[in-house]
Structure 1
Amino acid sequence: MKTGKRGHRRKKLGFFRLINRGPGPVRLFIGGVHGREGLTTIRALKRLRFSDIETGKLVIYNCNTSNYLSTLDPSYYESRQGREIMGLIKEYRPSTYLEAHCYRDESYHDLTDPSRKLKRGVPPLIELERGVLIGSVSPHIRKKLFRREDICLTVEIPCFRDSEEWYRQLEVYVEFMRIVASSRDRDELENRLGRKYPHQVETARRYAREFFGEYPPF
Structure 2
Amino acid sequence: MSFFRLIEKGEGPIRLFVGGLHGREGLTTIKALKSLGFEDVIDGKLIIYNCDPTSYLSTLKRSYYTKQGREIISLIEYYRPSIYVEAHCYKYYEGLTDPDRKKKMGVPPLIELENGVLIGSVSPHIRTSFFKRTDVCITLEMPCIQDRIDTKVLKTYTNILKIIASIKDRPELEEKLARKYPEQVEIARRYAIEFFGDYPPF
Matched-pair contact (CA < 8 Å) for 1:142–1:217: no
Q: CA deviation at 1:216?
A: 2.2
The answer to whether residue 171 in structure 2 is matched with residue 187 in structure 1 is yes
How far apart are the structure 2 equivalents of 1:170 and 1:58?
20
SS at match of 1:30: strand
User: Does residue 84 in structure 1 map to residue 71 in structure 2?
Assistant: yes
User: More displaced, 116-125 or 207-216?
Assistant: 207-216
Aligned to 1:7: none
Task: Report the number of matched residues.
Answer: 202
* SS state at 2:17 partner: strand
| TM-score normalised by the chain length of structure 1 | 0.90
For the Cα contact (< 8 Å) 1:148–1:217, is it kept in 2?
Answer: no
* Offset of residue 163 of structure 1: 4.2
SS of alignment partner, residue 35 of structure 2: coil
Pair 1:116-2:104 in alignment: no
Q: Write out aligned runs for 1:13-162 (5 A).
A: 14-80=2-68, 82-104=69-91, 107-162=92-147
Residue 124 of structure 1 aligns to a residue whose secondary structure is coil
Q: How much does 1:121 deviate? A: 0.5
Q: How many Å separate the matches in 2 of 1:43 and 1:211?
A: 33
Query: Which amino acid letter does the alignment assign opposite residue 169 of structure 2?
Result: D
Higher relative contact order (CA 8 A, sep 6+): 2
Out of 171, 186, 190, the position equivalent to 2:155 is 171
* Structure 1 residue ranges (4+ consecutive) displaced by more than 6 angstroms after TM superposition: none
Aligned to 1:216: 200
Q: Distance in 1 between matches of 2:147 and 2:46?
A: 29
Distance 1:171 1:151, change over 3 A: same
Gaps of at least 5 residues in structure 1 are: 1-12
Deviation at 1:14, TM superposition (A): 2.1
RMSD: 1.1
Q: Which stretches in structure 2 are left out of the alignment for 5+ residues? A: none
- 2:188–2:201 CA contact under 8 A, matched in 1: no
SS class of match (1:193): helix
Give the alignment's TM-score, normalised by structure 2. Answer: 0.97
> Is the contact made by 1:150 and 1:217 (CA closer than 8 Å) also made in structure 2?
no
Q: Residues 145 and 217 of structure 1: is their aligned pair in 2 closer, same or farther, counting only changes over 3 Å?
A: farther
1:198 paired residue number: 182
One-letter identity of the residue aligned with 1:62: N
1:49-82 CA-partner distances (Å, limit 9, x unpaired): 00001100000000000000000011111113x1
Identity of aligned residues (%): 63
AA matched with 1:200: Q
- 1:37 maps to a residue whose letter is E
